[in-house]
Structure 1
Amino acid sequence: MLVTTIAPLMAPIVGGWVLVWLSWHYIFWILALAAILASAMIFFLIKETLPPERRQPFHIRTTIGNFAALFRHKRVLSYMLASGFSFAGMFSFLSAGPFVYIEINHVAPENFGYYFALNIVFLFVMTIFNSRFVRRIGALNMFRSGLWIQFIMAAWMVISALLGLGFWSLVVGVAAFVGCVSMVSSNAMAVILDEFPHMAGTASSLAGTFRFGIGAIVGA
């Protein structure tokens, strides 16, 4: 979960320096090379870890039934939606952040990544915090705590914009919000899989679709 969250946060840092050193065309060449390398590593290096006796054969009717069962479970659906909108907040910043930072607040394009790095720092801190306390507090309580922090930070950013509290109040608010994305998503996945351990693959795929689907729609 941490990897899938850090990847879009690291992208603007790398992309900013590619624009400075080369040109925007090279971004797509780098993406193509990364896709080829990732595909090769998956094919040659990553092996199936599930024992053969525990694997389930693919049946389209069973798969559709599993998805239907997940959609009928209101509590699990609420976890997926909450995780999706948490991701949507981060994706909104990924799409609008460069304009807000560079165009409105006059941050140099090559320096944008350093302000962005603060998000990664908060993300690491909250990930460590989550790993230390999740066994003591429980995944559901950590999930709710992450959502509350994000709600408070979202309200803070609105107040900051309305009152003109300055650029750094926005930067810190965004970083604290983004820092909780992995905390919300990982614990949401934990409670979802706890509800449906017998269809973990289906539940995981649907939760991922909600996360990135809602994030992409809102971020667009």
Structure 2
Amino acid sequence: MPSWLVLMGALAALGPVAIDMYLPAFGAIAHDLGTSQGMVERTLASYLLGLAAAQLVYGPMADRYGRKLPLLIGLALFTIASLACATSQDIDHLLLWRIAQAFGGAAGMVIPRAVIRDHLDTREAAQALSLLMLVMGVMPILAPLMGGQAVSLGSWRTVFYLMALAGAGLWLTVLRHMRESLPLEKRAPLAVDVIAANFRLLLTHRGFMGYALAGGLGSAGMFAYISGSPLVFIQIYGIDLRWFGLLFGLNAISLILAAQLSARLLNRYRPLDLLIRSQITLVLMTIAALILTLTGWINLPLLMLCLMGFMASQGFVSPNAAALALAEQGPRLGTASALMGSLQMFSGALAGFAVSVWHTSTPLPLTAVLAVCAALSWLSGRLATGRNAPPAA
């Protein structure tokens, strides 16, 4: 794997790490700030909404000023906001700074996809995005474990200090080692009419919207899982905090291994073929989990089996849908990547919010939201593949 792709993976992982790392600290945050578990869960939804909004800003910036400068600005903001989160004294300030943190972390989610498409064609981009998920997948496995250890050895504030340290380290790495991948002659003017025209073209592009929503709604199910997993594993099933990271890691491993298998299968199959097949299993796994929950037959092993199946399916859906969505967007890659990421984060915020406000003594909120997300992802995929000549190379 080339060093530039490793760096893109680390940058893309920063935003998601800020989601996962503080999950084991929910209880400690609620106790320390004198608030409810539901309010702490809403800091996650606010972060996702911040990611959704901020990506719409970074896309046009990346098309106008190149890839490097917006990254440096975003990483600086992420670092400062992480320090502010660590020193927050009430839940309102934590909510505010989580949104600011999201506006910084969003740069690392938009720009790496554009950099990959700057370098590679559709099939190679799908392979690179699958490899990117390996890099991105390692940190979400480690993040809850590190977060749990940070809470045990220090406090929940230590988690945010570690995030600030990661942001500062990546800022220095980008400054010293990243090369600009967008030449001056390919940069788009930062004018309101040009930006509006690009967004209008993307929003009315059937293939782009279909593939972007197919991947984004599948990812929304992942965010529902991230938001709801502390309640389901720790409170409903009574899993010790030390084992929470292990269960979280098993699901992340399913995602990573499937993404790597997808990258290998792309030597024989088109991204479109892999997307269609994996969306079927995505739906089947979530429907099975919902039926088991409604019938009262659900238990932790069966739930884990369904969740691992869902994650494995998403390991195929996400990189192939992203590569197909960006395939025809050469002149506006930054804006396309931003809109795609924004749709993903907005869907994720809604899914996470739905899980956070719907509390029962069973995993029903989680399994129901997962099933809805998977079904909508499948429908979006059918919308995209209904085109006369969908990009499939």
- What's the CA shift for 1:114? 0.7
Match of 2:322 among 156, 164, 189: 189
Give the match for residue 156 of structure 1. 288
RMSD: 2.0
Give the match for residue 27 of structure 1. 159
Local SS of the residue matching 2:173: helix
Match of 2:253 among 121, 130, 137: 121
Contact 1:13 1:116 in 2 (8 A): no
Contact 2:271 2:324 in 1 (8 A): yes
Matches of 1:180 and 1:84, distance apart in 2: 13
| Poorly superposed stretches of 4+, deviation over 6 Å | none
Task: Name structure 1 gaps, 5 residues minimum.
Answer: none
Taking the TM superposition and a 5 Å limit, the aligned residue runs for 1:199-214 are 199-214=332-347
- What's the CA shift for 1:205? 1.4
Contact 1:157 1:170 in 2 (8 A): yes
Paired residue total: 220
Percent of matched pairs sharing the same residue: 29
What code does the residue aligned with 1:172 have?
L
What code does the residue aligned with 2:343 have?
F
Give the match for residue 44 of structure 1. 176
Residues 1:143 and 2:303 are matched in the alignment: no
Matches of 1:164 and 1:57, distance apart in 2: 58
What code does the residue aligned with 1:17 have?
Q
Matches of 1:178 and 1:28, distance apart in 2: 27
Contact 1:5 1:181 in 2 (8 A): no
Residues 1:90 and 2:232 are matched in the alignment: no
Q: Deviations over 1:173-214 (max 9, x none)?
A: 112212333421211121112232332222111111111221
Residues 1:103 and 2:235 are matched in the alignment: yes
Query: Could you say if the C-alpha distance between residues 205 and 7 of structure 1 is closer, same or farther in structure 2, counting changes exceeding 3 Å?
Result: farther
- What's the CA shift for 1:154? 0.5
Matches of 1:7 and 1:87, distance apart in 2: 17
Matches of 2:314 and 2:349, distance apart in 1: 15
Residues 1:11 and 2:143 are matched in the alignment: yes
Local SS of the residue matching 1:137: coil
Matches of 2:200 and 2:267, distance apart in 1: 31
Matches of 2:191 and 2:173, distance apart in 1: 28
Local SS of the residue matching 2:180: coil
What code does the residue aligned with 1:102 have?
I
Matches of 2:141 and 2:325, distance apart in 1: 25
Query: Could you say if the C-alpha distance between residues 5 and 207 of structure 1 is closer, same or farther in structure 2, counting changes exceeding 3 Å?
Result: farther
- What's the CA shift for 1:7? 4.3
Task: Name structure 2 gaps, 5 residues minimum.
Answer: 1-131, 354-393
Give the match for residue 331 of structure 2. 198
Matches of 1:212 and 1:24, distance apart in 2: 25
Match of 1:177 among 273, 288, 310: 310
Matches of 2:315 and 2:212, distance apart in 1: 13
> What TM-score, normalized by structure 2, do the two folds share?
0.52
Matches of 1:120 and 1:153, distance apart in 2: 16
Higher relative contact order, chain-length normalized (CA < 8 Å, sep 6+): 1
Residues 1:68 and 2:200 are matched in the alignment: yes
What code does the residue aligned with 2:179 have?
K
Local SS of the residue matching 2:268: helix
Matches of 1:115 and 1:208, distance apart in 2: 27
